[in-house]
Amino acid sequence: MSEANTLTDNTIIVVVGVRRSGTSILMQMLEAAGLPCFYDESTPANQHNINGFYDHKATRNINKNHYFLDEVKGQCIKIPAAGIPFLPVNKYKYKFLFIERNFVEVILSLNKMNPNTARHKLANNVYPSNVIERFIYVNILAKNWISKHNQEVLFIDHRNLINDAQNNAEKINNFLGGKLDVAQMANVVDKDLYRTKNDRELIRTDRAPANIQGLLEQYAKDKIYCEIGIGNGHVLNALQGAKKKYGVEENTKLYNNCRALYPHLKCHYGTFQNVYEGLDFEVCYMWIVYPHCKEIIDIIIAELQQCRTIIFGLNYYYHLEESDPKFQKYIKHYPEMATAKDWNKNINAHLAELKEAGYSISIEEVKDEDSEEIFSVAIVQLG
């Protein structure tokens, strides 16, 4: 190894990402560039990673023991995203290479490796929101830690890395000081090993698309905004331009997740019916199925006169005719007790009632960037 590629004694290069996101190929690139890498054979190469996993068993217990990092100084190491918040602060200088991959591809890849692991199944081609949310959660916690402690980080997109290895190798080289062998880094990226792609048609049965934020921005700008049922808080956190924003969540786990991910957000815990008397907003957004959604809207209209715009998500099949096979495909994926087949009828009856009361009604459509499905949204305005 040349002197030019020797890292500062106290520096640790950390390759981070969820499993099957491309962390191993990054480690391989760094090693090919002449950098020392810290790993063992606790996870030997196999048909899923023919060039090796570059893991070290010590990272599995980093939440309990991080003293092994003294051995890593001046080297590169691969640490799962979930382990980043347990890194010691101020003891070392870190430089993070954070790789992200389409989460459906991650799940498909995990399923190939561990076909008997139920949590990695794609059941009936339904978009795996709950599994993906766990990956999002650990990634955001890792990013929050990196940002909070002012650490250097380079974000890398897995698919872009595979398709343009040369450009990404140059970015990595620049990030790490500009003295690495870029050609060697790029040469180890083998497109033929990108075998698991998100090529399935997945339908969405829950969770509004993340890109609904753009629609909400139009109505929340310079207004007091409330989101009812914030889930993990991603949309509320991303929303920009509101004069003031806060949320309501009744699910204990989701409320706690939001507090962990976005401690700066203001969120009220409990059902809307129990907390609305302390709220004051001009615009609100929710996606709660009928008839619960109607109950909340009725309270807003009757009790919260300052609210002039109510935005509520409908579903991913509102735009389809009942005779459409895709409509029937959606319905069969809901439990019978949910009476999903009646939702559109109930929605239209409610919208007609609101229109009769003097509200203007418009329906917007948002195409989900991940699944290409269409999510319909009702905009209800008075005055």
236-249 pLDDT tens trace: 999 999 999 999 99
* 216 occurs within a structural domain: yes
Residues 169 and 40 occupy one common structural domain? yes
Mean pLDDT of 149-170: 96
Indicate whether 227 and 345 sit together in one domain.
Answer: yes
> What mean pLDDT do residues 212-229 have?
97
Does residue 2 register a pLDDT over 50? no
Do the beta carbons of residue 112 and residue 104 sit within 8 Å? Answer: no
Could you tell me if 47 and 182 lie in one domain?
yes
Residues 228 and 369 in one domain: yes
Question: For residue 1, what pLDDT band results from cuts at 50, 70 and 90?
Answer: very low
Mean local confidence (pLDDT), 131-136: 93
Q: Which of 120-129, 149-158, 309-318 has the lowest mean pLDDT?
A: 120-129
- Answer whether 330's CB lies under 8 Å from 201's CB: no
What was the pLDDT predicted at 29?
A: 97
User: Is residue 287 located within the same domain as residue 177?
Assistant: no
Model pLDDT, residue 370:
78
Average the pLDDT over each of 143-147, 329-333, 349-353 and give the range with the smallest value: 329-333
Number of Cβ within 10 Å of residue 337's Cβ equals: 6
For residue 357, the model assigns a pLDDT of 92
Q: What percent of the chain has pLDDT over 70?
A: 95
Q: 129 and 35, same structural domain?
A: yes
Strands 152-157 and 76-80: what pairing? unpaired
Q: Number of structural domains, the chain?
A: 2
At residue 146, the pLDDT reads 98
Show which of 127, 162, 193 is a domain's final residue.
193
Give the model's pLDDT for residue 381.
Answer: 96
319 compared with 289, residue with greater pLDDT: 319
Residue 199 inside a domain? The answer is: no
Residue 140, domain member (yes or no): yes
Least trusted range by pLDDT, from 113-122, 226-235, 268-277: 113-122
Answer yes or no: do 132 and 220 share one domain. Answer: no
Tokens read off for 40 = 């063992």
H helices of the chain, where?
23-32, 103-113, 129-148, 158-163, 165-175, 182-187, 213-220, 234-238, 252-261, 272-275, 292-303, 325-332, 343-356
Q: Would you say residue 383 has pLDDT above 80? A: no
Same domain, 245 and 322: yes
Residues 173 and 232 occupy one common structural domain: no
pLDDT confidence tier of residue 116, bands split at 50, 70 and 90:
low
Q: In what order do the strands lie in the sheet with 11-17?
A: 76-80, 11-17, 93-100, 152-157
Same domain, residue pair 186 and 294: no
Task: Summarize pLDDT for 357-377 with one digit per residue, the tens.
Answer: 999 999 999 998 877 889 999
* Ranges 263-267, 278-282, 303-307, 332-336: which has the least confidence: 332-336
Together in a domain, 240 and 364 = yes
Q: Verify that 290 and 352 share a domain, yes or no.
A: yes
- What are the residues whose beta carbons fall under 8 Å from the beta carbon of 246, sequence distance 6 or more? 225, 226, 227, 236, 265, 266, 267, 268, 281
What is the domain range of residue 109? Answer: 3-193
Q: Is residue 202 part of a domain?
A: no
Q: Residue 47 falls within a domain, yes or no?
A: yes
Kindly report which listed range (151-165, 258-272, 361-375) carries the lowest average pLDDT score: 361-375
Nearest partner of 207 among 380, 378, 18, 375, judged by Cα: 375
Q: Give the per-residue pLDDT at 100.
A: 97
Higher pLDDT, 10 or 63: 63
Give me the chain's average pLDDT, please: 91
